[in-house]
Amino acid sequence: MDTLVLLFAIWGVVTILFLALVFYRSRLTKKETDWIPLSDDAKEDQAIEAQKVIEVKTHRVTIPIRALGVLWVVMAVVILGFWFYHGIMTPPPIK
């Protein structure tokens, strides 16, 4: 049963990392704006540059989020399979 405890611990760490990255991405996208003021001054250039930086950070986080999501599902299937296998292979207690 030590293996199952280890799998749950790893699964918990993956879950925490996944949720932290999703929260970080949501904080980044909250700073995005839907419009940029069109004018001929430096404010327009600054707004465009800020949006580009936010977009780059958001795209950089997307791949680890997807990888952790896939790892989370794979770990859940492995845990369920291990639990099922252990349940089948363990004889019932004798009274």
pLDDT in tens, 34-91: 666 666 677 777 777 888 888 888 889 999 999 999 999 999 999 999 989 988 988 8
Can you give the pTM of this predicted structure? Answer: 0.75
The domain tally of the chain equals 1
Asked if residue 95 is part of any domain, the answer here is no
Reduced to 3 states (helix: H, G, I; strand: E, B; else coil), residue 36 is coil
Asked if residue 80 is part of any domain, the answer here is yes
Neighbours of 68 (CB within 10 A): 19
Which residues have CB under 8 Å from 82's CB, separation 6+? 3, 4, 7
Q: How far apart are the C-alpha atoms of 62 and 81, rounded to whole Å?
A: 29
Dihedral sign for Cα atoms in the order 80, 84, 89, 91: positive
Domain enclosing residue 74, as ranges: 2-89
Asked if residue 94 is part of any domain, the answer here is no
